[in-house]
Structures are given as C-alpha cells and as structure tokens.
Structure 1
Amino acid sequence: MTRTKSVVGIGVSLLAGLGVASYLSGRRAVPSWSGTAAVNVLDAPVDVLRDRWGIPFARADNEADLFRAQGWLHAADRSFQMDLLRRAGTGRLAEIVGDAGIASDKLVRTLGFEQHARTEPEMLDDVTRGNLAAYAEGVNEWLRVNRSRLPVEFKLLGYKPEPWKVADSLLATRLMALNLCGNWQTELARAEIAARCGDDVLQAIDADAESRTEFTAQLSADVLGELVTAARDMNAKLGLGFGTGSNNWVIGPRRTATRGAIMANDPHLDLTLPSIWYEQVLKSPTFTARGFTIPGVPGIVLGHNGTIAWGFTNSCVDVQDLYVEELNGEAGTYRDTDGSDKPLTVRRERIKVKGGDTITMDVRATRRGPLLTDAVSHDLDHALSLRWDAIRPGRISQALI
C-alpha cells in the first residue's frame, strides 16, 4: 500500500520544563505539544489533543494509523526510557554504562529474552502482528524526524538510539513477568542461607521452607551468593524489586451511588521515575480504549473501552522451578533424569562494554532451561537450570495488544 504524507494535529496544552543543569542541552528536546507535524508513515491525518495534565487523546481514521500515532507519542515523551528498557531486556546496558552493566547483562543474556522475542512474531495473529508493525513505524518516524532533538540523556551517554523493531515491543512483557514472578530468586536466597548457616537457621527464618540440604550439598555457598548478587544487580538495573503485590476488586452497580460498576486495580509496582505507566486515550472506528500503557508496547494494558474495564494482578503462583544439573564439562553433557548423558545446547553471546573489551560468554542449557549459574561461573560440576514459560516461545504479548 502506498503511503502518503499526512499531518498529525496536536492540541495546545502545558509546556514541560527542564532542570537548570540540563537546560541548555535539553531545551531542544522538549516535545512540541502544539501545531502540526509531518508524519510520512500515516495513511490519513491523525488528531492528537492533550488535556491540562498532558494526557494525549489520539483519534485516527483507521487502526494502523492509531498505533502509528501511539508509537510516535511514546517516542516523543519517553524515548530514552524505551531504549533503556530495550537494553535492559536484551542485555546491552554495558554498552552505555560500562562495567556497571556487565553482571546484569550476563544474567539477562542467560535468560535469553531477546532470542525468544525475535521468534514470537511468527506465532502471533495477523491483527496483533500488524499493530506491532504500525507501532514500530510510528516510533521510527519520530526518531527520524527528531534525530537532532533527542532527549538529553542520549547526549550525556554519548549515543543515539537504534531503529525500533517489532521484537523490541515484545521484551516489555517478559520484563514485567520477571518483576512479578520472582520465586526463583527467593529459592536462591533460601538456598544460600541454608548453605551458609544450615537448615536449622533457614527453618527459624522461614517455617514453610523445605530442607535445602541435598540442594546445597552440590552447590557452594559462594556460588549461590554470587548468583543472588547477580540477580540483585539485575533487579537494580531493570528497576525491579521484591515485596511487590497487587489487588483488584469490583463493586456491582446495585452497591454504588451512581448505579455504575466500579473496578479498582492496583498492581503495586515499584515507584520509578519516570513511571512504568503512560496514560493515553486511543480512538479509531475499530479500536477505542483509555487507560495505562507501557512505553514501547502498543495498546492499553490497564483500562476500559466505555463498556468493559480490565486490569491485572499478581497471583503469586510458583511458575519458576530450579533444577540441580550434574555436568560433565569436558564432554559438554549433563545427566538427565533417566541416567543418560545428554548434550548441552550452547549459544554464544558477545557483550560489548563501554571503555572496555568485549566479553564472550557461552550460554548453556538443558532440556529444562538455561543454566543460571553460567552467569557467574562455567567451572562447576553441578549447575542450576531454570524452567519458566516466559523464557520459552509463546504468545504472551497477544493478550495485551
């Protein structure tokens, strides 16, 4: 289909301010909230209005243009956050922050988020895949038009963002899952306590904890401690944390003063600046919704369409399992449950480090999943593998987009 140049109309609203320290270099990067912008990827004009809180209302004549406009708006307001999340999810933080990003990058590369995000589009339905592609077009059009007006963070770190790909939008759901499904890290922490202090101390701290004697006999406290530290470092770099929860409740219309149903959803995510959420209103002949989005992901994650409201909560289900794997490093095999030796699969990763040498690491996996311990050491007779649906091919994003 031939694309014609169209114009996005932008309503007048408040003017964003900048701190004194970044004023001179950041002044040009303030998004324009009034006037018009020529957007080459649109099929028809799109109107964007902002209310007094800066929340954008986008109205398009077709669904593809609506998601192109959403990508444009996300990039205009949150392009650095989007790029940082992309780097966190692909294990490429060390490229911009140097040694401080290595431990996090190794663990994320071991999990293999990028590998599965690249294969997921083939599994999605045509509508979802089309919306993802349209969204990426909108992001890239903003990056093209504003190449000389990028946020000041890019200038301070000395790099420019790469074009946005469909697979990049599929990383956010995995990062969200990583934040909300942390039981493997709890199991690691318990194992380290048992290894250093014994099962008696672990039972005193956590009466529900099972014995870790057999588990810790095969893995040293130092190795477990290094893995716990790497996981903690990854959480810090990705803005994740423990102690999160959520709730969601509904009141029927007969029990409210307005005779309308009320749904209250609170995901209990960590406070970050900027927030993980971005409020937005989207409207086209085939898609109308208002609510909270995630920069980098098309669609409305939490919201309503005037008839139906939706949200999500963390069920805190144990969906991650750790396995102690017996290895034969010289042969490149592991001992399977039937007693036979099976070959490890190996994926080579290269981590570029700002101001340092490129790091080459081999990510090994059994049929159960990747060896987490490879993030800290390959010289082990026993290793830990992780089984988790989020690090397997799937259609996670189709539920959100």
Structure 2
Amino acid sequence: MKIIKKTLIFLLLIAVLIFVAGWFYAKTLQPVYAGEIEIKNISEDVTIHFDDIGVPHINAKNQKDAYVALGYVHAQDRLWQMELIRRIAAGRLSEIFGKELLKTDVFFAGLGIEEAAAETIATLDKNSEAYVLTQSYLNGINQYINEGKTPLEFTLLGIEKENYTIKDVYNVFGYMAFSFAVAHKTDPLLTEIKEKLGTTYFNELVQVNTENLTINKTEVSEIKENMSVAVNKIMSSLPVATFIGSNSWVLGPEKTKNGKVIFANDPHIGYSQPSVWYQNHIKTPNFEVYGFNIALMPFPLLGHNKQYAYGLTMLANDDLNFYVEENSPNNKNEYLTAEGYKNYKIIDKTISVKNEKDTTFQVKVSRHGPIMNGIISHLEDDRPIAMNWIYTQLKNEQLDVSYEMSHAKSLVTFKNAVSKIHAPGLNVMYGDAIGNIAWFASAKLYQLRDSLSSKTYLNGASGKDDIVEFLPFSENPQAINPITNYVYSANNQPDSVRGKLYSGYYQPQDRAKRITELLQVKNDFTKNDVADMLYDVKSSTASKIANDFIKNINQSNLSASEKKAISILGNWDGNYLKNSVGATIYNRFLYEFLVATYKDELGNSFNLFMNSQLQDQVLPLQINKAQSVWWDNIKTKDVVENRQEIITSSYKKAFSFLENQLGTNVEDWYWNRVISVEHEHAIGKAGGILRKFFNVGPFETIGGNEVINNQIFNLDSTGVYKITAGPSTRRVIDFSDVENSLSILPTGQSGRVFSEHYKDQAEKYVKGEFVKMYLNDSDIQKSENILVLKSKKE
C-alpha cells in the first residue's frame, strides 16, 4: 500500500512539474507588452502603450524611431505570419511544409513576381522617405528575429529564422496583387466553352455583363480644402488568406445626424488565424496614423487620423490576359512576333523541398509574359499560353503609394497617391474632417482594339491583339463630393470609360444594391446606424430569385411537405438569420439547379464555374430565359429538357436531400444547422489536437454569400457550408467623434497562441460587436501595459 501511495505521489509531482514547466515555457512565448527592452538604431527611447485589445500605440520623437518600433512589435506578434506570406511569391512553402505544396511553389515561382521585384528595387530612390522608413521597419523586425523569442510554429516545423529584406516586402505586394486577380480562373474556362461548345453557349454567359447592374457613377465636384481548378486548389491550399472582395461607403456631412463625415469599410479576405490585419497607432510630433497593416507592409492600406480616413475594396478590373504564342517549327525556344521569330527568355528555377531532393524547372518568357503550360495545371493546351499581367509589366510604385496614402496632407495629395496604382485595381475610399468624400477606381486601365474581348485567349503572334493604349488616371471612374452625398463600393461595375462599360470580373449587384437601398432612405445617420449596416444580412436579390424559381416549378405532383417548403421559400425575405429556413432551402435548391443546368456541358470544368463571379452574374438572367441552350441535358438521348423540367427536378432533389440531412419537419431546417465559421491556422489544418490548439472556432454566425455581412462559402454536394472568407475587419470612423471610432477583427491582434489577444475579439466579431480605436492621449495613457524601447548605444 505504501508503494502505491509513494508511486501516486511521485506521479503527481511529475505531473505538477510538467505543468509548471509548460506554464513557464508558455510564458516565454508570450509577446512582451510591458517593461523595458534595449534595441539599436533608435535615436531616443520609444514608449509603447498596449491597449485592452493589444494594439500598440507608439509614441516616438521621429518617424524613423517609430518605424523601428513598429517592426519590432509587429514581429513579436506576427512573425509566423510574416514568414508564411514572404515565402508564397518566392515559391518557398515546400521548404517548411514538404512536397504537398510543391505545385503551389512552382506556380507562384513561375509568375515573375520575384523578377519584377528585383527590377523595381534596383531603381528605387534610396534616399526617399518611403524607402528609409521601410528599412527602419525591417530593421525592427530583424532585431526581434535576432534577439526575441522564437514562435512556437518555428520550433514545431524546424524553421531556421532568416532576416528580412525589402525584396520580401515586394513579394508580399506581388502575392496580394495576384490573389485579387480573377482572369486566371475565368479566361481559360470561357475559352474552353467557346472553343468546345460554341459561340451560342459562350454568348449566353458573357452577355450578363450589361444586365442586372448597380453602377458606381462618375461624378467629380469641387474639393473642400483647408490650410493643413487547379488554381482554385492552389489558392485554397495556401496557408495564408487570399483577397476577395469588400464593402465600403462614405457619408457626406449632409447624410449624417452630426453633420460630419462617417466612413465605413470591411475588406473581404479569406479567414485565417492569425487575422490578416495588424492594428497599430503611430504618433510623432509631426505625424499620426492609426493603421491596419498586412504582414511585412510598413505602411497601412487602411488607416485614419483626426484629419482623414481611407480604405479600399477590390476593383476587379481585368488586368490579366492570356496570349496564345506560336512556336517556331524549327526551334522550340523561339516564338513568332509581328517582326519575326524571337527567342524566349529562359529562367531556371529551383524549389527546395523539405526531406526531398530539390526540384528544378525552367520558365519560358515571351514579350507578353511567362508561358504557363505546365505551371498552371488547368491550362492543358498544346499551344504555348503566355500570361500578360499588368502588375509585372509596368512600373511598380506600390511602396510610394502606401506611404503617400498614409502621409497625405489633403484630398488633392491623396488623389495623387492613388493615381500611381497600376495593379491590382482597387476602389480607394476617402473621407475627411472638413467634409470631403471620394471614391477612386485606381488602376492602370487600357484599351484593346475595337470588338476584341479580353475574356478569352488572345493572339500573341500577330501583334494585333496587344494593348493599344494605357489610359490617363483622369479618365478612370471616380466620384468626389457627388450630389448624392455618399460614395460606395461593393466590387460592382464602375461607370463607363470612353462610352463603354470597362471589362472586368465584377461581383453581382447584390451588396451594392442593398447598400444604396439603405443609404437612400435617411439623412441622419449615426455611427451606430453605420455599424448596424456592416452586420446586415439581407440579400437584395435572393428572395426575387427564389420566387423566379418557384414560378417555374410544376407543383401538380408535389407532397404536402414539398408544398410547405415552397411556401416558406416564397415568403422568405432574403435574411440570412440563424433561424431562417428559407436560406437553407434556397441554397440547396440553387446548388441542384446549377448542377442540372451546367454540369452536363461543362464536365470537369464545372468546378471552375461553380462558386465563381461568372456563376453569380449569370444566375438571375438564366432563370428568366424561356429558351436556352443550357436547359437541355446533353447526356439524355432523344430528349430535350426545358426550363420547367430542370427547375422542378432540381427542387425535388433539393427537398429530398434536406429531408435526409435535417429531418422531415421542414420548419426545423434552420440556417445555423448547416453553416459555421472556423479560423484555421496553417498548423491547425492538420486536425486533431493541433486544430483545437491553434484554430479559433467553430462558431455559429449569421450571414451568407453576397450580403453586406458577407460570409462566403462554397456551394457543394455536402450541404454543409463552411465559411471560408468574410470581413477581415469592420471599421467605422465618425469625424464628429473620431476619438471613439470603432473596429473589430475576426479573432485577435496577436498571432502568438499563448497571448491573451490571440482570440479575444472572436466572440464579439460573430455577434456584430465592436471595440474602440483609441486616439485620445488621456485614454491611451490609462493602459496598464507600457513597453519602453530603450536606445542601445553601440
């Protein structure tokens, strides 16, 4: 008995020791939010107050010191995120994750991002303020790398830390630009439809570009001034977030209760853990900005201070084209141009793979860009296909753009900054304390010859399909202080350019229509009204589409339960609330309809079409076509299906599926039974205990596709909707009370799993709540967590 007792005491002591050791180890991995740390390359001490959600408020005597400090604290919270995002464009994920990500690395390494970055960096003005402050920021990151605690993820994966350079910054710019692009998925699909199915099928899809549109109108008024498939798989396999869409609207003084501008923005980005944005507040004697930074970007893409606020949405213009080159019959390394045959530029690439031999390959580059055959797997084509991407083809001024946006002195200087954006195309939104509001479609727009569509492959050999002209920024769609007293953007179609709607991959009108519906009905908006709008989940189009479905169902042989479900769907108001039954029926019905209408013709390419912008655009038009080549199921011999047959059979399949999935009581088919959100960490994706440790969630939520609170999921055969993307932050800046402006992140400020700020905003986020963005010094000074970076003399 004594032996058993001693053994139990011994085991208990071991358990206590393991717990204590684990606790101490966890403590060493937490960010340092208080105390003193000596660092180099600052001229004077920098004081940082961390507020109650972990946002650093950096108070420095000059900007160089401030940006060293920003780099240091950004790294201590987000070094793992920085490491992942810098590796994507360089094709270096396989080094840490193994051969499973080799295709991803080959794809990104072949895009030319690194080569374009090298050319840009070689021509940078090393004395410019943007360059100097970027180097200060990188210096702060590297000091943390060399002297700070190693993140747990580095230890688990055996990653050696490496210092960062400005090349890494440009690699992040390149990754961000490509994740905005849509043409790499849609152009090959439309080319295949046109070449294999014919122009009738093709024309029925592309004609939707001029119908069912809510258009952002161009209107420039006086400025107020004062004296101061395969790619889908590749993109979905990435361990960091991809950029998708967004909402923003800015209300002029005439639309608000307090007579001051109110600014709102919620960029839609793939959910991940840690969250995309790192909040920070910098203040020096001559500069201040409260910013939201992407990892390794020193200057915020979203920001505000007491004078102005800015943000962005994706423009979705077509900035990427594919050209069919013609190889020489005598030399595979030559291709035809209007001036005769020219040599491809050959670039040798090497990918390091964890626990495997290095992989080497070659990229051929024509005058249009890299040849993507073998690099992008769904380009299964004997013809050499070159990718012509504005981002790598033109001068890159993105570093200056982000610096100047965050350092603007007026709307005039801000406009000058965003005029330099070439790609990706962005809707840049602006509002200020003196009453100006503005929207700029910022991108390098271009013209092809008349009647040429950029939505399919172009002829690379003749030269006739090349870009004819790049347009001056003055011709870009934009609005400054319009007569409506508001500007907005929801990735929808912008106004005409030179008399034509500019080609792009714009989202359907759903969110834009809902935003304008809500903005038009009142002129006394408050900050809380705008915050409520950001959480709105009513679709402006789904209930009409549902009733268009219902009109074409043959109900003569339906059961009582099937008719009851139709009645519920018909009375659904388009709200995606937790207890909505209509939302559940609608989305399964929609899936079955898309399969029945398109899958027989598209075959394996159906997955490229499903959940695409093209699918969203074509839907309302297709339902209302009495005659369409798409109605016939080409797999049924001697039978030609019509609209009613397709829609009726789709409804019956949807009902049967839901009955098996959720039970026979239709009234219990609640939306929250089929939808959820989980923020996945790159390591948490492995599942098991790692999922529980690193991931945040899952949570019940409200919302759905293409509502303002855009909770983006894929329709598929499972009938379970796992949200993959949504608002990466929600921000409301009210210039009548700018020091109490609002924001929220999907999870938390820190990427360190042992930090108290790893997921402290997650519950608030799914409930539509907000936290305060502190600007007032007296509020900031109340913080209990004060970190002083002491100047270390060498």
User: Shorter-normalised TM-score: what interval?
Assistant: 0.7 to 0.9
Structure 1 unmatched runs, 5+: 1-21, 210-227
Query: Following superposition of structure 1 onto structure 2, how do residues 233-244 of structure 1 map, counting pairs within 5 Å?
Result: 233-237=234-238, 239=240, 244=244
- SS in structure 1 of the partner of residue 37 of structure 2: strand
Q: Which residue of 2 aligns with 1:294?
A: 294
Check whether the contact 2:241–2:276 (CA below 8 A) recurs between aligned residues: no
Rounded to whole Å, the distance in 1 between the matches of 2:343 and 2:232 is 27
For the structure 1 residues 23 and 387, does the alpha-carbon distance in structure 2 shift closer, same or farther, using more than 3 Å as the test? farther
- Following superposition, which runs of at least 4 residues in structure 1 exceed 6 angstroms of deviation? 377-380
Say which of 121, 138, 141 aligns to 1:139.
141
Rounded to whole Å, the distance in 2 between the matches of 1:380 and 1:251 is 49
For the structure 1 residues 192 and 74, does the alpha-carbon distance in structure 2 shift closer, same or farther, using more than 3 Å as the test? farther
Q: Per-residue deviation at 1:192?
A: 4.5
Check whether the contact 1:110–1:372 (CA below 8 A) recurs between aligned residues: yes
Check whether the contact 2:250–2:261 (CA below 8 A) recurs between aligned residues: yes
Check whether the contact 1:328–1:381 (CA below 8 A) recurs between aligned residues: no
For the structure 1 residues 250 and 277, does the alpha-carbon distance in structure 2 shift closer, same or farther, using more than 3 Å as the test? same
Matched to 2:400, the amino acid is Q
Q: Which residue of 2 aligns with 1:395?
A: 397
For the structure 1 residues 297 and 268, does the alpha-carbon distance in structure 2 shift closer, same or farther, using more than 3 Å as the test? same
Check whether the contact 2:324–2:386 (CA below 8 A) recurs between aligned residues: yes
Q: Which residue of 2 aligns with 1:335?
A: 336
What TM-score do you get using the length of structure 2 for normalisation? 0.43
Check whether the contact 1:103–1:234 (CA below 8 A) recurs between aligned residues: no
Q: Name the % identity.
A: 29
Question: What per-residue deviation string (whole Å, max 9, x for no partner) do you get for residues 117-143 of structure 1?
Answer: 233234444111111111110000011
Rounded to whole Å, the distance in 2 between the matches of 1:196 and 1:274 is 43
Q: Which residue of 1 aligns with 2:254?
A: 254
Q: Per-residue deviation at 1:232?
A: 2.9
Rounded to whole Å, the distance in 2 between the matches of 1:286 and 1:119 is 33
Q: Which residue of 1 aligns with 2:155?
A: 155
- SS in structure 1 of the partner of residue 313 of structure 2: coil
**Higher mean displacement: 261-270 or 232-241:** 232-241
Question: What per-residue deviation string (whole Å, max 9, x for no partner) do you get for residues 198-248 of structure 1?
Answer: 665555665559xxxxxxxxxxxxxxxxxx414531443154558x32232
1:167 and 2:167 aligned: yes
Q: Per-residue deviation at 1:175?
A: 1.7
Rounded to whole Å, the distance in 1 between the matches of 2:239 and 2:335 is 32
Q: How many residues align?
A: 359
Q: Which residue of 2 aligns with 1:348?
A: 348
Structure 2 unmatched runs, 5+: 1-21, 210-228, 404-794
Check whether the contact 1:248–1:264 (CA below 8 A) recurs between aligned residues: yes
- SS in structure 2 of the partner of residue 303 of structure 1: strand
Question: What per-residue deviation string (whole Å, max 9, x for no partner) do you get for residues 52-81 of structure 1?
Answer: 111110111111111111110110000000
Q: Which residue of 2 aligns with 1:360?
A: 360
Rounded to whole Å, the distance in 2 between the matches of 1:190 and 1:157 is 41
- SS in structure 2 of the partner of residue 142 of structure 1: helix
Q: Which residue of 2 aligns with 1:34?
A: 34
- SS in structure 2 of the partner of residue 43 of structure 1: coil
- SS in structure 1 of the partner of residue 132 of structure 2: helix
Q: Which residue of 1 aligns with 2:769?
A: none
Check whether the contact 1:107–1:234 (CA below 8 A) recurs between aligned residues: no
Check whether the contact 1:282–1:288 (CA below 8 A) recurs between aligned residues: yes
Check whether the contact 2:292–2:300 (CA below 8 A) recurs between aligned residues: yes
Q: Per-residue deviation at 1:26?
A: 4.7
Rounded to whole Å, the distance in 2 between the matches of 1:334 and 1:328 is 5
Rounded to whole Å, the distance in 2 between the matches of 1:253 and 1:207 is 39
Query: Following superposition of structure 1 onto structure 2, how do residues 121-270 of structure 1 map, counting pairs within 5 Å?
Result: 121-125=121-125, 126-146=128-148, 149-192=149-192, 207-208=207-208, 228-230=229-231, 232-237=233-238, 239=240, 244-270=244-270
Matched to 1:334, the amino acid is Y
Q: Which residue of 2 aligns with 1:382?
A: 383
- SS in structure 2 of the partner of residue 373 of structure 1: coil
Matched to 1:119, the amino acid is E
Q: Which residue of 2 aligns with 1:108?
A: 108
Query: Following superposition of structure 1 onto structure 2, how do residues 264-279 of structure 1 map, counting pairs within 5 Å?
Result: 264-279=264-279
- SS in structure 1 of the partner of residue 36 of structure 2: strand
1:320 and 2:306 aligned: no
Rounded to whole Å, the distance in 2 between the matches of 1:120 and 1:24 is 46
Rounded to whole Å, the distance in 2 between the matches of 1:113 and 1:26 is 38
Check whether the contact 1:124–1:395 (CA below 8 A) recurs between aligned residues: no
Rounded to whole Å, the distance in 1 between the matches of 2:241 and 2:321 is 20
For the structure 1 residues 27 and 281, does the alpha-carbon distance in structure 2 shift closer, same or farther, using more than 3 Å as the test? same
Matched to 1:62, the amino acid is N
Q: Per-residue deviation at 1:374?
A: 4.0
Rounded to whole Å, the distance in 1 between the matches of 2:386 and 2:158 is 37
Check whether the contact 1:326–1:381 (CA below 8 A) recurs between aligned residues: no
Check whether the contact 2:176–2:242 (CA below 8 A) recurs between aligned residues: no
Q: Per-residue deviation at 1:258?
A: 2.7
**Higher mean displacement: 25-34 or 39-48:** 25-34
Q: Per-residue deviation at 1:95?
A: 0.6
Rounded to whole Å, the distance in 1 between the matches of 2:399 and 2:188 is 28
Rounded to whole Å, the distance in 2 between the matches of 1:357 and 1:192 is 36
Rounded to whole Å, the distance in 1 between the matches of 2:43 and 2:251 is 42
- SS in structure 1 of the partner of residue 118 of structure 2: helix
Rounded to whole Å, the distance in 2 between the matches of 1:65 and 1:194 is 58
For the structure 1 residues 395 and 191, does the alpha-carbon distance in structure 2 shift closer, same or farther, using more than 3 Å as the test? same
Question: What per-residue deviation string (whole Å, max 9, x for no partner) do you get for residues 141-169 of structure 1?
Answer: 011112xx211111111112210111211
Q: Which residue of 2 aligns with 1:96?
A: 96
Check whether the contact 1:103–1:230 (CA below 8 A) recurs between aligned residues: no
Question: What per-residue deviation string (whole Å, max 9, x for no partner) do you get for residues 273-319 of structure 1?
Answer: 11111111011233310021112110221111210111112111111
For the structure 1 residues 159 and 138, does the alpha-carbon distance in structure 2 shift closer, same or farther, using more than 3 Å as the test? same
Q: Per-residue deviation at 1:188?
A: 2.2
- SS in structure 2 of the partner of residue 375 of structure 1: coil
Rounded to whole Å, the distance in 1 between the matches of 2:29 and 2:160 is 13
Rounded to whole Å, the distance in 2 between the matches of 1:119 and 1:150 is 33
Rounded to whole Å, the distance in 2 between the matches of 1:170 and 1:109 is 14
- SS in structure 1 of the partner of residue 314 of structure 2: coil
1:372 and 2:375 aligned: no
Rounded to whole Å, the distance in 1 between the matches of 2:325 and 2:233 is 23
What TM-score do you get using the length of structure 1 for normalisation? 0.82
Check whether the contact 2:319–2:389 (CA below 8 A) recurs between aligned residues: yes
